[in-house]
């Protein structure tokens, strides 16, 4: 079994043939090029793209061939002014676009615009996601810091409040002790 020939090497070895044209012609004519060119594909491509020149006529110096006059010439018909309607030969009707290449160009332009819009939208969404992640990270860090500050505040205020209560109680006791040393005034006894 003969090894398949690569499309590249075939085109290079046969006068740098255009690979796209050779591949397209082979595919259109039922030959696969995906795993290299089979011997049949090589033979068909050679016949299509590299026809062998006709052998040169042998040099026959001095030989003259005379065809003779064994034909009768007839007058050709005059076809001027003849109109032929090709519709008479068709049995079907095709749906067509007058300028398919213009339609294709419009479609390609629209598709390019849509692809650009899709890419722009994705980029905007990615920027928004990055900004959201950044904001969420900053808020989460600040929220954790705030929670720690609240606990510290709670502990500190509890300690300060306890100390304040202790000091106020001690002051009240001292004032009550000082008051107990004195005699009550008449206004205090009348009440």
125: which 2 tokens?
């969404």
User: Does 181 score more than 80 pLDDT?
Assistant: yes
Average pLDDT, the chain: 84
Higher pLDDT, 52 or 158: 158
Q: Kindly state the average pLDDT of the residues 60-89.
A: 71
Q: Is the dihedral angle over the CA atoms 55, 61, 63, 64 positive or is it negative?
A: positive
Higher-pLDDT residue of 59 and 172 is 172
> Can you tell me the mean pLDDT for 65-85?
70
Task: Give the pLDDT confidence of 144-179 residue by residue, as tens digits.
Answer: 988 999 999 999 999 999 999 999 999 999 888 888
Q: How far apart are CA 35 and CA 26, in angstroms?
A: 13
What is the torsional sign of CA 181, 187, 190, 191? negative
Helix H, strand E, coil C: the string for the chain is CCCCECHHHHHHHCCCCCHHHHHHHHHHCCCCCECEECHHHHHHHHHHHCCCCCCCCCCCCCCCCCCCCCCCCCCCCCCCCCCCCHHHHCCCCCCCCCCHHHHHHHHHHHHHHHHHHHHHHHHHHHHHHHHHHHHHHHHHHHHHHHHHHHHHHHHHHHHHHHHHHHHHHHHHHHHHHHHHHCCCCHHHHHC
Residues 59 and 28: beta-carbon distance below 8 Å: no
Q: For position 189, what pLDDT does the model report?
A: 59
């Amino acid at each position: 079994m003969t090894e398949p020939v690569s499309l590249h090497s075939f085109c290079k070895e046969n006068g740098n043939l255009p690979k796209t044209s050779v591949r397209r012609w082979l595919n259109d004519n039922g030959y696969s090029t995906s795993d290299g060119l089979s011997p049949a594909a090589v033979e068909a491509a050679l016949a299509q793209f590299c026809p062998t020149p006709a052998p040169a006529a042998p040099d026959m110096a001095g030989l003259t061939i005379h065809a003779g006059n064994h034909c009768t010439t007839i007058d050709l018909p005059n076809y001027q002014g003849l109109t032929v309607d090709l519709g008479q030969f068709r049995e079907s009707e095709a749906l067509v676009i007058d300028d398919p290449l213009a339609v294709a160009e419009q479609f390609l332009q629209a598709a390019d615009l849509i692809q650009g819009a899709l890419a722009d939208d994705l980029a905007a969404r990615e920027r928004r996601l990055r900004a959201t992640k950044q904001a969420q990270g900053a808020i989460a860090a600040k929220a954790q810091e705030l929670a720690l500050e609240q606990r510290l505040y709670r502990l500190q205020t509890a300690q300060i409040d306890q100390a304040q209560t202790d000091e106020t109680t001690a002051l009240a006791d001292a004032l009550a002790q000082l008051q107990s040393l004195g005699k009550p005034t008449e206004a205090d006894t009348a009440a």
